[in-house]
Structure 1
Amino acid sequence: MSAARTKRPRRERGIPLRAVLPNAVTALALCSGLTAIRFAILGNWELAVLMVLVAAVLDGVDGRIARWVRAESRFGAELDSLSDAISFGVAPALILYLWTLNTLGSFGWLVALLMALACALRLARFNASIDGEIQPHKSAGFLTGVPAPAGAVLALTPLFLWLWTGAEIVRTPIAIAVWTVFAASLMVSSIATFSPTVRLRRNIRFEFVVALVVFIAALVSAPWPTLAIVAIAYLATIPFSIRSYRRIRLQRAAAPAPASAPEPSGPSGA
């Protein structure tokens, strides 16, 4: 009989306590996306859009909290992707369908499905490459395609314009369908877009704070014109991001390759 002790199987550790806060924020973002669908069913378009925007804010906060408390984990990444798929794929698709795409019948539902599917495919591509060592866009400070929150905001831009002006021409179903397909294609595209991460120099931090205060004031006092202008301005930056990334890629291709270290000389073996 062996005297060696049998090792007990190690108990799997649960989520550490410091990871509760960022995951709770992600769960709140998921709840906001689901609540947006509820308000869309009730025909309350303002609150439906507001819930999507709340989800976008929470989505930008949870990752920073996780890095701050050093609680980044695969569980958090998967929960974040699920939240994004609901809040920025399913919710905007259903909002647009219930708002005007339903008048197109099965074609309108197909467009809504395309919006939700594009967001899910983008997130799946992101998760598949998150551990990849070679990510050309990320290494140059860019993103691949339009991120999910920005794609949702772009898709909802006609609704912003309608809430702002009340013009029924903005609500034309065919135009909304074409715009939705366009926004969905931007999410799954491989174009380089600017990263939302902002690094400020010391001498412009005060100006940034002033601009941020002005933006928040405009968002509170006139939300729909502000959101429409922000979405159009973001769309206008895409040609510049493509050109900037192309310039960086050409500079990297023209740079000389680092010289390899010389092999140490020694006696040759027979």
Structure 2
Amino acid sequence: MQPVSSKAQQGDPTAHANDRHLDDDEPPRRPRKGIYILPNLFTLAALFGGFYGIVMAMNGQFEQAAVGIFCAMVLDSLDGRVARMTNTQSSFGEQMDSLSDMVSFGAAPALIAYEWALKDLGKYGWIAAFVYCSGAALRLARFNTNIAVVDKRFFQGLPSPAAAALVMGLIWVVTDMGETAFSLPGMVWLTFAMTLYAGLTMVTNIPFYSFKDVNFRRSVPFIAIVAIALGISVITIHPPIVLFGVFMLYGLSGYGVYVWKRMKGRPVSVISTSTDEPDEEGLHR
């Protein structure tokens, strides 16, 4: 509490005005910035899934490592939707999501694949792992810089969670069969090819459907709920094979869309859907 001046005690009306003037000279206090906890909890959980996968691979438990990465994929698909549904989007959340993706879908799959099979190939093995890891970093950086000019219906290149699913799905299927990369002929080189394919496809301009135009707040026919229930039932039959098969189809679907658009004479680039600007010349070829 500020002391009251003698003029104020004597009833001088200018004393209170001077006191208010002194208060106005004090710098205003900035409101403390907070962090929305709900969407960032999902992001942290996804980050933990990637870290868990690395730890399990270091201990030779590759099936648990694959499960950790797939759990991170589910959590990563939820954090953004939760933020939009609860109106808790923030720049901090966007940066946190990118860093989590780099660990869970960039570094973790590369290290797990190297520990599982690629280390037996010497230099070729760690080069393939690095190509995948750098591809994920480049893809995430390009996504963050082009987010305002990319057609939201499509991803530019294979998204990093799907790329991780290709590599980890192969490991999950083989380990679920009770085999290793060295007990099956050619499996080491198949892992090498899959890692390179996933890493390079992430940095291409091939369009992959993003499913971002699906509105979960909109009412749907009853048959859609039945189809979702059937899909869940099919996955539970044998999760490793079913999930790996689904992501293999998705990992090839972009090239199918590219060829189909080429045959129809439609633009194949997902950057800048308008062709009116001079700077956009050549983007739609």
Structure 2 length normalisation: TM-score? Answer: 0.76
Q: Is the 8 A contact 1:162 1:171 kept in 2?
A: no
In 1, Cα distance between the equivalents of 2:259 and 2:39? 36
- The residue that corresponds to 2:200 in the other structure is 185
- For residue 32 of structure 2, the aligned residue among 13, 19, 44 is 13
Q: Hey, what does 1:225 align to over in structure 2?
A: 241
Q: Comparing 162-171 with 43-52, which one deviates more in the overlay? A: 162-171
> 1:261 maps to which residue?
none
Q: Which amino acid aligns with 2:64?
A: L
Aligned to 2:57: 40
1:175 aligns with 2:190: yes
**Structure 1 unmatched ranges of 5 or more:** 258-270
CA offsets per residue over residues 21-76 of structure 1, 9 Å max, x none? 00111011101110111111111122111110110000010001100111111100
- Which one-letter code corresponds to 2:134 in the other structure? L
Residues 142 and 30 of structure 1, relative CA distance in 2, 3 Å threshold: same
Matching residue of 2:107: 90
Mind listing any 5+ residue stretches in structure 2 that lack a counterpart? Answer: 1-20, 269-273, 277-285
1:155 aligns with 2:172: no
Amino acid at match of 2:73: A
Aligned to 1:106: 123
Give the CA deviation at 1:9: 5.2
Paired position in structure 2 for 1:241 = 257
Q: Residues 157 and 206 of structure 2 are in contact (CA less than 8 Å); yes or no, is this contact kept in structure 1?
A: yes
Please state if 1:52 is matched with 2:69: yes
Hey, what's the Cα distance between the residues in 2 that align with 1:186 and 1:213? 32
| TM-aligned CA deviation for residue 164 of structure 1 | 4.8
Tell me the SS of whatever aligns to 2:267: helix
Q: Deviations over 1:117-152 (max 9, x none)?
A: 11111111111223x3x33x33xx211111111111
Which amino acid in the other structure matches residue 223 of structure 2? E
TM-score (normalised: structure 1) = 0.80
The one-letter amino acid of 2:194's match is W
Amino acid of the structure 2 residue aligned with 1:44: Q
Q: 1:129 to 1:239 in 2, by over 3 A?
A: closer
Q: Kindly provide the amino acid, as one letter, of the partner of residue 96 in structure 2.
A: L
| Distance in 1 between residues matched to 2:230 and 2:93, nearest whole Å | 33
Q: State the distance in 2 between where 1:104 and 1:223 align.
A: 29
> Using the alignment, how far apart are the partners of 2:256 and 2:126 within structure 1?
34
Identity, % of aligned positions: 34
Does the residue aligned with 1:143 lie in a helix, a strand or coil?
strand
The answer on whether the counterparts of 1:164 and 1:225 sit within 8 Å (CA) in structure 2 is no
1:80 aligned to 97, 113, 128, which one? 97
* 1:177 Cα deviation after fit: 1.2
Number of aligned residue pairs: 245
User: Root-mean-square deviation (CA), in Å?
Assistant: 2.8
The worse-fitting range, judged by mean Cα deviation, of 56-65 and 233-242 is 233-242
Aligned counterpart for 1:144 among listed residues 156, 162, 187: 156
Give the distance between the partners of 2:106 and 2:245, measured in 1 at CA.
22
Contact (CA 8 Å) 2:110, 2:132: kept in 1 or not? yes
